[in-house]
Structure 1
């Protein structure tokens, strides 16, 4: 969201934020922080998950101050609640939404997840109250996720796909002199079961000790992963913790390839594009929006979700064939610089904004 805001500002647009008062913020001294409502504690303020009166009132005042031409919503569920959108409808301000993922019941052969049932109950209430009915367009970051939107009976005329983007020039300082062979494979992201991390460890049990793996990130499975690594004596697997900024860039720059072994629907996979910027190919599951980015055996390798044997073979292919790895990495960077560019994203947004305002005026 913040990268998108910077993109819009860089093209001459005024952009305003509305969120809860939970720090950190994108801008430390943001002029309109006084309009941010308190961050909702799910247990102490349970009722606010359905309707956050403070958020509605403060958003109403902010709209009257900044008078936006359009409101672009990114993930306001639970804390702000979509009840705030009624304030846009009252003022005849058009609204578009970006759908980053869908809240669903977790199946995964583990039965029904109570947390997901709780979320579904709240979302059902939002539908009952018709909070989203006035939205003009729903933006999806992949065709795969857009297809899920159709399956949920979202009108096809409201659905549009605009791919996420990456700015490879942001990584140029770490690309210089990066012609050296990487030393390890890299997983970078949230440490959760659905990301396929235990499949990753199963593959590494079968690999020679000289094939190293770095796992970067944090999440609810961090402790269990460390236990599994110790239990299986995986000396070639290193947990390197959460990485951002220069530390994140160094991890990419020093790897042979990155891996995204998801076993559950992956809406897009932004880490794939980041890896491509460093001319690093990606081994990833053939699921969700991933195959819209990775061309099998061109800029990476697609594997069957949950298949540790296929993952092992893909790792060995890149480890034992530096020439293949180099060619795939170069193709990956070409993919990022031609298809998933800031300009392409900006042009996609502008088409939606222009159609939104045009359709809204003629209503």
Structure 2
């Protein structure tokens, strides 16, 4: 049995990358791998017998000077992983989003012991200090070529000079301590992400694409007519939230439900209090059975990001539930959606086209249901756990 050290900054589900990590760990565990988690301490962490090795986390609510230093380079994390490695045999380390809490300090102890390191890249942190290759004005690639100082120039971290300085400093220090060169192989979740990272300086010979997966057999689909359009995800400008609301303003006859949380939460609630928005319903953050029920009851789901989506997990979740999608032609999403078959693609920011497809979906329920059937068939055939496991094992085979 191979033992896999699964590394992430937290050991609970806060976003899509965390959900993927837990699902991958279960998939590997079900196929005779021993999974050993390593994360920073956090009150929301899932209980684990391995938590005795977890280092102290960074306090972002009221950070001290020591917290800021640990954000850039964490000696406690290096000591903690060193102790774990002294007491346990590890065959391979699989990293996810580890920066911010654990930092690149954990890489040297792994390399000293000759442990192969694989990292799934859920974003663009390798070339962008603020992860997303996006600014308030749209997609941005200014930091390519290790020009991380431009994140300070553009105040990329929430418009704050101090935060942006910290992000840029962390990127320089992480690169110095091996965030690029100490990783034996990178996994991207779409071909778009792979090409973009290579264009911006990532090592082409050490990157493979493995699309995300979903176990559709565990999802109860709905092939009946839905009654509303649905957006579920982060409430951020870069996710196309305001494009969606402009489209909804043109469609008072088409109910829209919005589920999620994020920085635009209060602005959204204020906007929905205006006259003419009574058909738009904000239902808060949903997950698990509550989210599944929402998806099953929808006509279609909407994912119209205006940033480079690395994949679009919401798309395959919708397909698994038998629901078609309307998505933007951004990032890796065109690799998931077959236009006219299981959904439609629009140009990012085109609220008029979005309104037209939302209206079409609501007026053509039979066609929408058939598109949902095709979407579910696609995820069963192309995004299954078995296919994903084989691709992950192929990557492991390159470094073991």
Shift of 1:243: 0.6
Equivalent residue for 2:24?
Answer: 4
Matched residue, 1:17: 37
- The structure with the largest helix share of the pair is 1
The CA deviation at 1:88 is: 0.6
CA contact (8 A) 2:223 2:373 kept: no
Of 216, 219, 231, the residue aligned with 1:171 is 219
In terms of mean alpha carbon deviation, does 108-117 or 67-76 score higher?
A: 108-117
Change in 2 beyond 3 A, CA 1:196/1:32: same
Counterpart Cα distance in 2 of 1:114 and 1:94: 33
Match of 1:37 among 51, 55, 59: 55
TM-score, normalisation: structure 1: 0.93
Q: CA separation of 1:54/1:340 partners in 2, compared to 1, >3 Å: closer, same or farther?
A: same
Counterparts of 1:1-363 in structure 2 under 5 Å?
1-26=21-46, 28=47, 30-42=48-60, 43-44=63-64, 45-103=67-125, 104=128, 106-109=134-137, 112-115=154-157, 117-118=164-165, 119-172=167-220, 175=221, 178-207=222-251, 209-357=252-400
Q: Which runs of 5+ in 2 are unaligned?
A: 1-20, 139-152, 159-163
Q: CA RMSD in A?
A: 1.5
| CA distance in structure 2 between the aligned counterparts of 1:130 and 1:256, rounded to whole angstroms | 47
Pair 131,280 (structure 1): closer, same or farther in 2 beyond 3 Å: closer
Counterpart Cα distance in 2 of 1:237 and 1:114:
31
1:142–1:322 distance in 2 versus 1, CA, 3 Å? same
- Give deviations 1:102-143, integer Å, cap 9, x for gaps: 143643428923427332331122112334412110000001
Structure 2 match to 1:360 = none
Q: 1:114 and 1:314 mapped to 2: Cα distance?
A: 33
- 8 Å contact from structure 2 (residues 224, 369) kept in 1: no
* Matches of 2:320 and 2:379, distance apart in 1: 7
Displacement, 1:264?
1.0
**Shift of residue 231, structure 1, vs aligned partner:** 2.4
Are 1:258 and 1:280, in contact at CA under 8 Å, matched by a contact in 2? yes
Q: CA deviation at 1:324?
A: 1.4
- Tell me, what secondary structure is at the counterpart of 1:16? strand
Structure 1 residue 35: Cα displacement:
0.7
User: Which moves more between the two structures, 228-237 or 272-281?
Assistant: 228-237
8 A contact 1:106–1:113 mirrored in 2 = no
CA contact (8 A) 1:86 1:131 kept: no
Report the TM-score when normalising by structure 2: 0.85
**Alpha-carbon contact 1:303-1:311 (below 8 Å) kept:** yes
SS of equivalent to 1:17: strand
Partners in 1 of 2:305 and 2:202 — Cα distance?
26
**Match of 2:258, SS?**
strand
Task: Give the superposition deviation at 1:229.
Answer: 1.5
Number of aligned positions between the proteins: 350
Whole-Å Cα distance in 2 between the matches of residues 56 and 91 of structure 1?
13
Superposed displacement of residue 226, structure 1: 1.0
User: How far apart are the structure 2 equivalents of 1:335 and 1:159?
Assistant: 25
